[in-house]
Amino acid sequence: MSEPGLFCQINTAATGPAETVKKHVPVITLPEKVKAGEPFTVTIKVGEAPHVMENGHFIQFIDLYCGHIYLSRVDFTAVMTKPDISFSIVLQHEGSRTLRAFSRCNLHGIWEGTREVNVMT
Ligand SMILES: [Fe+2]
């Protein structure tokens, strides 16, 4: 069943309840070291616990941002895909950045997961 309140905001791990958070907050995985100007792989999986991908309830997309800069999107169809993806990205400047992933569930709204990355020269 749809939860209308979840569609009026960007949901995070703090939104709760824990069971919903576990299935919706994107989990970002990165290499330990990232060098400026060199490609690296960012893996994003929706939820610590698997989210269903049924026709009536599924993850519609994952967007990836670096801070407020849009990087990429992957769209999903129900049944035949899984919200577990990899992006190859290149960050050009050294320093600390926040990678932000947004996933949208058709019944539970948009969820944000973040991960800090320290880009070295
Ligand atoms: Fe959901």
pLDDT tens-digit readout, 8-28: 999 999 998 999 999 999 999
Residue 36's closest CA among 66, 70, 65, 68? 66
CA angle 56, 6, 47 (to 5 degrees): 65
Would you tell me how many other CB atoms lie within 10 Å of the CB of residue 111? 27
Q: How many angstroms is it from 105 CA to the middle of ligand 1?
A: 5
The CA-atom distances, in angstroms, between 3 and each of 11, 17, 21, 54 are 12, 12, 13, 17
Q: How many angstroms is it from 108 CA to the middle of ligand 1?
A: 5
Architecture in CATH of 4-120: Sandwich (2.60)
Q: How many angstroms is it from 2 CA to the middle of ligand 1?
A: 8
Would you tell me how many other CB atoms lie within 10 Å of the CB of residue 72? 14
Q: How many angstroms is it from 59 CA to the middle of ligand 1?
A: 7
Domain ranges of the chain: 4-120
- What is the per-residue pLDDT across 41-100, written as a single tens digit (0 to 9) for each? 999 999 999 999 999 999 999 999 999 999 999 999 999 999 999 999 999 999 999 999
